[in-house]
Amino acid sequence: MENDISFAEILLRRGTDLLQGDEDGDDESETVVDFLARLLATVALTDGPLVVQTEAGGDPTIFEEAARVAMGSLADKATVLAATRQVERAVVFEFDGVGRLSGSRVITAVLRPEDRNDLLEAYVAVGRLRNATLEMTVAPATVRLDAGALGQTLELLGSAASLSANAIGAAMAHASGTHALEGHDVSEVPAAMVDLCWHGFCLASVRSRGTAGYGMNGKVTLH
């Protein structure tokens, strides 16, 4: 994948065009790609700048550390996720896919649906360049994580390190939920896409613990 292709920026440009279409009275039917594009463009316009963290061309530390968290023990992952706090209304992470997604670019958008900085929603898109044509797929669902509730549950149960995997899994399930976008069903969403939403939370958590050190390698404000 060429490093100069930013699918996050492509999504934002699409969202800007859709918002302009709203002003022009365009009643075009909306796809899930359009939904996410419009959502991100709206955030950039109303709560900007929109932060875009990219693995290519930026500091890879945040992505490397998030990968270690995701691959580590469930107890460590739960502890890290419980500490997640996001100041910005939205942060978009863009990185190269691995495994079955090799050759694709993954975009995870982590948003705050309310004023709380510990309540987050993740959306996932996968972009690819095929036969000189840009293609984009968006998971028709969002995963919501109440990091504050997860932390409280872990505190009540005791140290995460002392808990069984079942207990930790139950605590994470209690503090989260997967919700289908309008017109879709959760059963339509591949498990791999849900996992990428959780990886987005790992990225957000790592970033929230070291924002000053990692910096924000992309701030996008739409006009």
In DSSP terms, 92 is beta-bridged to 52, 109
- Residue 2 in any domain: the answer is no
State the total domains in the chain.
Answer: 1
Residue 95: what pLDDT?
93
pLDDT at 222 over 50: no
- Residue 219 in any domain: the answer is no
Residue 221: what pLDDT?
44
- Cα distance between residue 222 and residue 185, in whole Å: 32
The Cβ of residue 194 has, within 10 Å, a number of other Cβ atoms equal to 18
Q: Phi and psi at residue 119, in whole multiples of 5°?
A: -115, 115
pTM over 0.85: yes
- Residue 1 in any domain: the answer is no
Q: What is the pLDDT of residues 15-31, one digit of tens each?
A: 999 998 875 555 567 89
Categorize the per-residue pLDDT at 125 as very low, low, confident or very high, splitting at 50, 70 and 90.
very high
- Residue 197 in any domain: the answer is yes
- Residue 141 in any domain: the answer is yes
Residue 169: what pLDDT?
93
- Residue 87 in any domain: the answer is yes
Instruction: Label residue 102 exposed, middle or buried (CB < 10 Å: 0-12, 13-18, 19+).
Output: exposed
- 31: closest CA among 185, 194, 184, 213? 184
Residue 132: what pLDDT?
75
Q: What is the pLDDT of residues 27-85, one digit of tens each?
A: 567 899 999 999 999 999 998 778 999 987 667 899 999 999 999 999 999 999 999 99
- Residue 221 in any domain: the answer is no
**Mean pLDDT for the chain overall:** 87
Residue 134: what pLDDT?
85
- Residue 145 in any domain: the answer is yes
Range of the domain at 132: 7-212
